[in-house]
A and B are shown apart, each in its own frame.
Chain A
Amino acid sequence: MKKRGSRLVLGLVLILSVCFLFLLSLSLGSVAIPFKEIVKILLGLPVESSAWQKIVLLFRLPKALAALLAGAALSVSGLLMQTLFRNPLAGPSVLGINAGAGLGVAVTVLAAGGGVGGATLLEGFSWFGQVSLVVSSAIGAGLVLVVIMFLSRRIDNIMTLLILGLLFGYAAEAGVSILMHLSVAERVQAYIFWSFGSFSGVTWDSLWVFALFVILGLLLGFGTVKQLNALLLGEGYAFSMGVRIRRTRRLIILSTALLAGVTTAFCGPITFIGIAIPHLARVLFASSDHKLLLPASLLLGSSSALLSDIVSQVPGQDLLLPLNAVTSILGAPVVIWVILKRKNLQESF
């Protein structure tokens, strides 16, 4: 069991890297704040500048916590989907939840005439505009979730469910394009801005709701760890070993929908982390065991979300890059590396 030791080291490295990136994201930004001061602020000790204290406590801390939660949620839900559908390209978005959220936001931002959400959004990210965004995307995601859960009770073939999820996604995107076509330029711009994804929208007021749903989703996901491992052999074998297939499927879908839905609602549709991170976890730990993969994906997901956020803020500059562009630019080489290393992604299932 020489492997056990190296896995322990790897796990520790991951935990430390999450901690380090968390502090780094508090320290970096348009204004750089020294590490020592960050620690003081977090411990509630007196600091040199009260502006620094405000920046860290009011803006950077909730943002970093949101990145932590979103990264964990997206990568764990991606892992769940890849195992459930036995498909290496599955991710949090395959069930159409993200697209549903997108449609919800599009309706609010693009179509709601002089409605509260759209109007306030155009005036900038006021608290009220933010809440209406979250609520509308949560409604969109929730509606798709209800439909998917209803269908999963009646559909035997898991691949049918995958295809239906993808079709939901296309239909929702079609709805969004129509709304964009009929809307005015400023509103389209506001929608596009939302679709870039961002962790800065989460405030202290909404953070606890976000955290609650993510923790609930993660608990549901971790609760199915034994069934997930059995599902590695396919549903036939899993059933022969005593796994309640439909119940397990519903739990996994519910967990994914909560994780992906709430993340999209609070941070926008963040791409790539959900697909790329589970593969990275498999390769790093050279294992398909979900007892390892779930915590590994969680930690790797949080690190990558924090890193993407730091890069998108372009430290020392006033420039702000779209978060989704950063996750893709950082994530694509990872996936390419994994594919080249494994030669055959399908084999990792």
Chain B
Amino acid sequence: MIKELLSTKNLSAGYKKENRTVINNLNFSLYPGELVCLLGPNGSGKSTLIKTLGGIIPPLAGELLLLGRSLKTFSLQERARTVGLVLTELISPGYLKAFDLVALGRHPYTNWRGSLSWADRKVVMESLEATGASALIHRYVGRLSDGEKQKVMIARALAQEPKILLLDEPTAFLDIPRRLETFRLLKNLSEQTGKTVFLSTHDLDLALQRADRIILLNSSGESFIGAPEDLVLDGTLEKSFLPEGVTFDRERGGFVLPQEFKGEALVEGSGTVKSWTIKALERNGFYPGASGAEMKRGAGRGMEERLLVSIQGSSAPYLWLWQLGEQKGEADSIHLLIRQIRQVIRFLEKPEAGQP
């Protein structure tokens, strides 16, 4: 049996001074080599939990075991060698080069002056390599982009040679490609080094794709734990996250803003151009086949038309021929197609407005 690295028993976390409990009775374990994502709406206590697990704030009640021992019995140095932390705040120490910043992670290993031995330097370089930041070592951290900075900060945590890596919203300031990259990097780290990676995030779709397990906190202090698929199937994810006017697409595993159902679409064609055409039609209320039937059940009112679209050509430029009711037309771009269809709809809804 694999031994757990970290486990909590009836853990309650929050702020003693303010007399505020954010998380109640949390029970879970983290195992080596796992990527676990912490999800929850703002204010549900994600940061509080990360800080509690990292030992920055003491637990209010319950037990927090690290390697089978209570975290309380760890010296600061021992803890720093076991748990590495990446916080949300962006730091900008202007005159620190990336190498020097990562070298700060050797703090729990170095002497009183913080001098680096050759072994320390080697760990620093390996940490930078593991996050793909080797090329940045001579650059000042203050002049790095947010994505590069995040890689360096993760490398700094790795330089502590921790068994567990805790990250508080590591993708918060990043654009979408950088988010994907960060997730891939963290997934690789957990798989290849056997470290446990535990991160909070708002990127639900990425968490669903990449996480081994998800811990879900809701705003009333409850928590749900399981593989992403389990949480999707039993409806927990939907319930915890759903704001008004948003639906969860269980098939695709993502939240959608549903469009008022206007009609069913029948699209002739194949490949990428077909799927993007369907996307555009969906955005405007025309749903194809099966999902159309489902939307029809949900939608009560409105006209229901059948839209036929036939895509001509096997590569760009394409031509879209369409038919809606008695109206027909052709368009040489999706933009034009949509515009023409909208005009027809407007005419059908208010015939007095004039001919399309």
For chain A residues 255-301, which have a beta carbon within 8 Å of chain B?
282, 286-289, 291
Give the CA-CA distance A282 to B93 in the complex, in Å: 11
Contact A243–B96 (Cβ < 8 Å): no
Residue from A282, A288, A342 whose CB has the most chain B CB atoms within 10 Å: A288
Is residue A330 within 8 Å, beta carbon to beta carbon, of the partner chain? no
Q: Is the CB of A226 within 8 A of B91?
A: no
Which of A236, A289, A347 meets B94, CB within 8 Å?
A347
Chain A: interface residue total (CB-CB under 8 A)? 28
Q: Name the CB-closest residue of A to B75.
A: A242
Contact A233–B77 (Cβ < 8 Å)? no
Contact residues in A for B12 (Cβ distance below 8 Å) = none
Contact indicator A232/B104 (Cβ below 8 Å): yes
In the complex, chain B residues 240-272 whose Cβ is within 8 Å of any chain A Cβ: none
List A contacts of B107 (CB < 8 A).
Answer: 226, 230, 241-243
Say yes or no for B319: interface residue by CB 8 A criterion.
no
Interface residues of A in 198-256 (CB under 8 A from B): 223, 225-226, 229-230, 232-234, 236-237, 239-244
Q: Let me know if B92 is at the binding interface, CB within 8 A.
A: yes
Identify the interface centre among A223, A233, A240, A349: most chain B CB within 10 Å of its CB. Answer: A240
Known: A239-B56, A347-B94, A349-B94. A230 touches B76 (CB 8 A): no
A132 at the interface (CB under 8 A from B): no
A82 to chain B, nearest CB (A): 12
User: Would you call B58 an interface residue if the criterion is a C-beta within 8 Å of the partner chain's C-beta atoms?
Assistant: no
Contact A230 B104 (CB under 8 A): yes
Closest A residue to B88 by CB, please name it. A236
The answer on a CB contact under 8 Å between B87 and A225 is: no
For the complex, give the distance between the alpha carbons of A110 and B92 in Å.
47
B114 close to chain A: CB less than 8 A: yes
- B 292-335 binary contact with A (CB < 8 Å = 1; else 0): 00000000000000000000000000000000000000000000
> Is A328 in contact with chain B by the CB < 8 A criterion?
no
Which of A232, A282, A342 has most B Cβ within 10 Å? A232
* Min C-beta distance of B164 to chain A, whole Å: 12
Asked whether any CB of chain A lies closer than 8 Å to the CB of B350, the reply is no
Query: Are B96 and A237 touching (Cβ within 8 A)?
Result: no
Contacts of B94 in A (CB 8 A): 288, 342, 344, 347-349
The complex places the Cα of A327 from the Cα of B104 at a distance, in Å, of: 35
Is there contact, CB below 8 Å, between A288 and B80?
A: no
B231 at the interface (CB under 8 A from A): no
Assess whether B108 is interfacial by the CB under 8 Å rule.
yes
Contact A232 B96 (CB under 8 A): yes
Instruction: Note all chain A residues with C-beta closer than 8 A to B160.
Output: 241
B54: Cβ under 8 A from any A Cβ: yes
> Which residue of chain B has its CB nearest to the CB of A240?
B85
Instruction: Out of B80, B89, B95, name the residue touching A286 (CB < 8 Å).
Output: B95
| Residues of the B chain whose Cβ atoms lie less than 8 Å from the Cβ of A342 | 94
Give the CA-CA distance A230 to B108 in the complex, in Å: 11
Task: Give the residue of B54, B79, B93, B95 whose beta carbon is less than 8 angstroms from that of A233.
Answer: B93
Tell whether A234 pairs with B89 under 8 Å between CB atoms, given A240-B54, A242-B107, A349-B94: yes
Distance in Å from the Cβ of A78 to the closest Cβ of chain B?
A: 16
Knowing A241-B80, A242-B77, the reply to whether A233 touches B108 (Cβ < 8 A) is no
A244 to B75, CA, bound (A): 10
Report whether B93 and A291 are in contact in the complex, using a CB–CB cutoff of 8 Å: no
Determine if B95 and A291 form an interchain contact, defined as CB atoms under 8 angstroms apart.
no
- Evaluate contact between A291 and B108: CB separation under 8 angstroms: no
Q: Please indicate the chain A residues that have their CB under 8 angstroms from the CB of B104 in the complex.
A: 229-230, 232-233, 241
Give the docked Cα–Cα distance between A242 and B109 (Å): 10
Is the pair A349, B56 in contact by a Cβ cutoff of 8 Å?
no
Output the least CB separation between A242 and chain B (Å).
Answer: 4
Q: Which of A232, A237, A288, A342 has the most CB of B within 10 A?
A: A237
Q: Is B105 an interface residue (CB 8 A)?
A: yes
Whether A226 contacts B114 by the Cβ 8 Å rule is yes
Chain A residues with CB below 8 A from B80, complex form: 240-242
Q: How far is the CA of A287 from the CA of B105 in the complex (A)?
A: 18
Q: Decide if B100 is an interface residue (CB 8 Å cutoff).
A: yes
Contacts of B87 in A (CB 8 A): 234, 236-237, 240
On chain B, the residues within 8 Å of A229 by CB distance are 104, 114
* Chain B residues whose C-beta falls within 8 Å of the C-beta of A243 in the assembled complex: 76, 107
Proximity string of chain B (51-64) to chain A, C-beta cutoff 8 Å, 1 when within and 0 when not: 00011100000000
- B110 touches A (CB below 8 Å): yes
B343 to chain A, nearest CB (A): 53
Closest chain B residue, CB of each to CB of A282: B95
B50 to chain A, nearest CB (A): 11
> Do residues B85 and A289 form an inter-chain contact, with CB atoms below 8 A?
no
Interfacial chain B residues near A239, Cβ < 8 Å:
56, 76
Minimum Cβ distance to chain A for residue B59 (Å)? 16
B20: chain A residues within 8 A (beta carbon): none
- A–B pairs, 12, beta carbons within 8 Å: A226-B114, A232-B91, A233-B101, A234-B89, A236-B56, A236-B89, A241-B105, A241-B108, A287-B95, A288-B95, A346-B92, A349-B94
Contacts A233-B101, A291-B113, A346-B92 supplied; 8 other A-B pairs, CB < 8 Å: A226-B110, A226-B114, A240-B54, A240-B56, A241-B160, A287-B95, A289-B96, A349-B93
Closest 3 CB pairs of A and B: A242-B80, A226-B114, A347-B94
